[in-house]
Amino acid sequence: MAVTPSQRIDVLKTYKLFIGGAFPRSESGRVYSVKDSKGNHLANPSLASRKDLRDAVVAARSAFPAWSAATAYNRGQILYRMAEMLEGRSEQLVTEIIALEGVTVKSATEQVQESVDLLVWYAGWSDKIATIAGSTNPVSGPYYNFSTPEPIGVVAIFAAAKPSLLNFVGALAGVITSGNTAIIVASEKYPLPAITFSEIMATSDLPAGVVNVLTGSATELVPWAASHMDIDAIDASGLTSKQLKEAQLAGVANLKRIRVHTQSKAPERILNYMETKTVWHPIGI
């Protein structure tokens, strides 16, 4: 018997976490309600727990050696591939942004296009940042002295809210371009584009564990991220002043680097999560 349109049940999307290249639900089984711009229920994404954060850190640390050792050109190609795939999913993302943020079709479309362009921009920086930020230092003696920027390690990101996709992409691209791996906590109020973008990353040649995406409460996760000894830095752009202060106090134990950014498109979003290594080499005769 044929099914009429009135009998059909919509297949609603399940918004899960993204950890180690897989899409698990929170180990706690918890979810929370996300509402649209008019206050109507929209989705039930996972409410990430402390255990989910620990799992994400393990995945990010495991992925760091290979990702940081990859050529800058290769990392740039993967970012460019992500831009290609983002453009292919633009219609879905526009729909999600309109529902969440209550903006016009034009505004949502522009946000997606800007996010695509931003990925291409960071892809272009991947094999240039070391040349711009590095140097050959003048020294007295038969030596060469080189300073080069290197990735710091595992970075936790608390993404800023609106514009949700652009803030998410800008924070993420800036961190991973140089070879860092990331745990990114999506905006609690606007998380859907982040999970959709996770699906793009899962099929864009990005190695598993390089990026791990959590949804849920920043207030709940900040203390554990800031005190975790295997997280080297935090992008605190999406935190309130109270949460930022809490992160700064908890991060003292391992001298965690904590930064706040106001722009999505800035070389500082790469350089702030790099360390300068200086090498001395004798001059051959």
Q: Measure the CA–CA gap between 164 and 161, rounded to whole angstroms.
A: 5
Which pLDDT value is given to residue 3?
54
Give the residue extent of every domain in the chain: 44-282
Which pLDDT value is given to residue 89?
95
14-66 confidence digits (pLDDT tens)? 889 999 999 999 999 999 999 999 999 999 999 999 999 999 999 999 999 99
pTM over 0.85: yes
Q: What is the DSSP letter of 188?
A: S
CB burial of 253-285 (b: ≥16 within 10 Å; e: otherwise) equals eeebbbeebeebeebebbbbbbeeeeeeeeeee
Contact 109, 121 (CB under 8 A): no
- The domain 44-282 is placed in CATH, from the list 1.10.3720.10, 3.90.1580.10, 3.40.605.10, 3.40.50.300, at 3.40.605.10
80-123 confidence digits (pLDDT tens)? 999 999 999 999 999 999 999 999 999 999 999 999 999 999 99
